[in-house]
């Protein structure tokens, strides 16, 4: 058998080489064609995507522009509108998402607050308030106008009330705990911050004893303010001893509940109807200087005794019921049962975002500043004001009124203080005197006008307090506590360094840059 019969003959070497070249060329050609096809597909898809993206971005920008017009057509301060407008137009995706989640057109609906009528006063009580307003008008027309305006907002003017100004957080909180020890019927507390610590332990000891005596105890605190500081174990312990607890606007359930704004920033304590407290201090150790944060923590508050306590008690009850809570008794049970001796007039007020565009607190501040003839002294840890407030301060100082603004020497929020500094130049130009409390954080929120009228409460000099938070405080007219407040303010200035124009001009470059950049966004700080 020949080789040609049993096995195929080998191809010549040249032929094999040629075939390999052809095969390689075909493979390379196929790869090239596929690569070209891939490139063509990418280019096609990129062009298509580019066209669609341009269209999508155009739609997004139009939507952002529509929302910007909508924001600016709504009531509210220009600073607030400017902040949202800049954010939405600059970064529409982020801005619109944040606006939808954290702002909303009807915040009261998102806060799960029931729509309830505000408790109404009797005709006799309203008539008594009108008579007191007319009496104040005769004595001090400018403060009578303010009292009349607030009376029409639902905040009666009272006599028969004692008012004691407490010039430090430790004095304020110690006095409050002492009065709680004497409670026989009920203790109501509504605070922005409640935190575990020595102060909380003392408060819990009182609660245990009083709950055992049958005292009705209700506690309401803001979840954002107390976040990471009030564990669930402490809340459960409150409930175990018989206290009722409600948490304002919990932030941990859903993302759209994480509001920086629309918080319950009030500080209210009501005891047996005849005693009530409000001020700047919360229930945490730093406010009583048990622990040190930001140097010496200078806070304050006021104790009311008598008829005017009802307004603060009423505001607590109103918030409690709007949050779904119930009371053991009818409303009238919680009214003051006594009249305290006290000179002058007392007018507690409350405020919140669901009353916008009316802001009783901001209007009160504007009237105190605008009505002063000789002096306006203000303490505030923050300064982020709208044009109307800035103009009121400048006009008062420019007309010869001694306007003095006292602020922290050690701020708790550095970026917020850089924003505050951005206002100093214009205020200094018009003659406003600015002081920084050198020992530490000045946290009190007070206004004093002509040694005749004053405000003490939870309201900061910023847009968030005036428009975006639930707040409270007390106005005093001709009350002895005003002199105590003046003495305290004089003491603050003795421990403060006055800010000069040169100080402001030579502040660090970083402060100047960030203060200007962050100013439109102060509502989030």
- 461 — phi, psi (to 5°)? -85, 65
CA–CA separation, 327 and 456 (whole Å) = 28
Q: Could you give the CA distance from residue 221 to residue 211 in angstroms, rounded to a whole number?
A: 19
pLDDT at 26: 66
| Structural contact between residues 95 and 88, judged by C-beta atoms closer than 8 angstroms | yes
Tell me which residue has tokens 């094999």.
Answer: 16
| pLDDT for position 255 | 47
Residue 105, pLDDT score = 52
User: Please, where are the H alpha helices in 74-102?
Assistant: 78-90, 92-102
pLDDT at 19: 57
- Which residue has tokens 């916008």? 356
Q: Which of 512, 504, 294 is nearest to 419 (CA)?
A: 512
Place of tokens 């669930």: 232
Where are the strands (E) in 249-394, listed by range?
267-271, 275-279, 296-298, 301-306, 345-351, 375-379, 383-384
Residues 6+ apart with CB under 8 A from 315: 266, 268, 348, 350, 472
* 408 φ/ψ angles, rounded to the nearest 5 degrees: -65, 150
Question: What per-residue confidence (pLDDT) applies to 58?
Answer: 75
pLDDT score at 366: 97
Residue in the block written with tokens 């847009």: 463
Beta-ladder partners of 236:
none
Q: Which helix (H) or strand (E) holds 366?
A: helix 360-371
pLDDT tens-digit profile, the chain (525 residues): 444 444 444 445 455 556 556 665 666 666 667 667 767 766 776 776 666 666 766 777 788 788 777 777 766 666 667 777 777 787 777 777 777 765 555 454 456 788 888 777 888 888 999 999 999 999 999 999 999 999 999 999 999 899 999 999 999 999 999 999 999 999 999 999 999 999 999 999 999 999 999 999 999 999 989 988 999 999 999 999 999 999 998 875 544 445 567 899 999 999 999 999 999 999 999 999 999 999 999 999 999 999 999 999 999 999 999 999 999 999 999 999 888 888 899 999 999 988 877 899 999 999 999 999 999 999 999 999 988 999 999 999 999 999 999 999 999 999 999 999 999 999 999 999 999 999 999 999 999 999 999 999 999 999 889 988 999 999 999 999 999 999 999 999 999 999 999 999 999 999 999 888 888 777 666
What is Dmax (Cα atoms) for the chain?
141
Under a CB-based contact definition with an 8 Å cutoff, are residues 287 and 245 in contact? no
Which tokens in the block code for residue 289? Answer: 């200087």
Name the CA dihedral angle for 218, 220, 226, 229, rounded to a multiple of 10 degrees: 10
Number of residues that this document lists for the chain: 525
Question: Which residues on neighbouring strands pair with residue 462, listed in sequence order?
Answer: 384
Residue 4 confidence (pLDDT) = 42
Q: 274 φ, ψ to 5°? A: -95, -10
Question: What is the rounded CA–CA span in Å between residue 381 and residue 351?
Answer: 19
Tokens of 148: 């009349």
DSSP state of 464: I
For the chain, the first-to-last Cα distance in angstroms comes to: 101
433 - beta bridge partners?
A: 404
Tell me the β-bridge partners of 435: 406, 498
Side-chain half-sphere of 517: how many Cα atoms within 13 Å?
Answer: 7
pLDDT on residue 233: 94
- Find the angle CA(172)-CA(177)-CA(180) to the nearest 5 degrees: 125
Q: Please choose, from the candidates 29, 442, 103, 123, the residue with its C-alpha nearest in 3D space to the C-alpha of residue 262.
A: 103
Angle at 166 between CA 161 and CA 171, to 5 degrees: 130
Q: Is the peptide bond before 357 cis (omega within 30 degrees of 0)?
A: yes
Determine contact, residues 382/416, Cβ cutoff 8 Å. Answer: yes
Burial of residue 151, with CB atoms counted within 10 A of its CB: 0-12 exposed, 13-18 middle, 19 or more buried:
middle
Q: Give every CB contact of residue 134 below 8 A, 6+ residues apart in sequence.
A: 144
- For every residue of 175-205, DSSP letters joined together read HHHHHHHT-SSEEEEEES-B--SHHHHHHHH
pTM across the whole model: 0.84
């Amino acid at each position: 058998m020949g080789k040609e019969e049993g096995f195929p003959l080998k191809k010549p070497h040249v032929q094999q080489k040629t075939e390999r070249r052809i095969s390689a060329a075909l493979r390379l050609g196929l790869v090239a064609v596929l690569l070209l096809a891939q490139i063509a597909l990418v280019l096609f898809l990129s062009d298509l995507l580019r066209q669609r993206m341009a269209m999508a971005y155009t739609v997004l920008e139009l939507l952002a522009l529509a929302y910007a017009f909508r924001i600016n057509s709504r009531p509210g301060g220009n600073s607030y509108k400017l902040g949202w407008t800049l954010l939405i137009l600059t970064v529409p995706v982020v801005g619109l998402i944040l606006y939808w989640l954290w702002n909303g057109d009807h915040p009261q609906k998102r806060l799960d607050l029931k729509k309830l009528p505000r408790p109404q006063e009797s005709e006799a009580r309203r008539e008594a308030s009108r008579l007191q307003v007319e009496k104040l008008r005769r004595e001090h027309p400018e403060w009578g106008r303010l009292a009349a305006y607030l009376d029409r907002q639902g905040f009666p003017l009272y006599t028969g009330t004692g008012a004691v100004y407490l010039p430090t957080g430790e004095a304020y909180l110690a006095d409050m705990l002492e009065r709680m020890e004497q409670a026989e019927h009920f203790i109501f507390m509504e605070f922005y911050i409640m935190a575990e610590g020595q102060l909380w332990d003392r408060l819990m000891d009182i609660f245990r004893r009083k709950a055992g005596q049958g005292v009705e105890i209700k506690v309401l605190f803001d979840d954002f303010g107390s976040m990471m500081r009030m564990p669930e174990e402490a809340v459960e312990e409150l409930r175990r001893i018989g206290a009722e607890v409600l948490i304002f606007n919990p932030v941990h359930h859903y993302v759209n509940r994480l509001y920086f704004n629309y918080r319950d920033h009030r500080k209210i304590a009501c005891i047996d109807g005849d005693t009530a407290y409000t001020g700047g201090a919360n229930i945490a150790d730093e406010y009583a200087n048990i622990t040190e944060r930001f140097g010496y923590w200078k806070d304050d508050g006021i104790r009311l005794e008598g008829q005017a306590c009802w307004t603060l008690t009423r505001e607590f009850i109103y918030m409690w019921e709007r949050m779904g809570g119930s009371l053991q008794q009818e409303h009238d049970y919680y009214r003051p049962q006594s009249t305290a001796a006290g000179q002058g007039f007392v007018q507690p007020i409350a405020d919140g975002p669901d009353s916008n565009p009316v802001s009783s607190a901001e209007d009160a501040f504007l009237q105190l500043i605008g009505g002063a003839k000789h002096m306006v002294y203000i303490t505030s840890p923050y300064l982020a004001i709208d044009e109307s407030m800035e103009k009121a301060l400048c006009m008062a100082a420019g007309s010869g009124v001694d306007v003095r603004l006292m602020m922290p020497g050690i701020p708790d929020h550095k970026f917020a203080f850089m924003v505050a500094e951005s206002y100093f130049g214009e205020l200094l130009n018009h003659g406003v005197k600015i002081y920084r409390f050198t020992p530490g954080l000045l946290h009190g929120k007070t206004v004093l006008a002509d040694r005749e009228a004053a405000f003490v409460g939870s309201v900061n000099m910023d847009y968030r307090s005036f428009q975006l938070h639930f707040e409270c405080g007390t106005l005093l007219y001709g009350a002895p506590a005003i002199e105590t407040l003046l003495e305290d303010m004089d003491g603050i200035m003795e421990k403060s360094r006055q800010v000069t124009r040169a100080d402001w001009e030579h502040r660090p470059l970083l402060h100047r840059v960030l203060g200007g950049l962050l100013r439109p966004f102060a509502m989030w700080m």
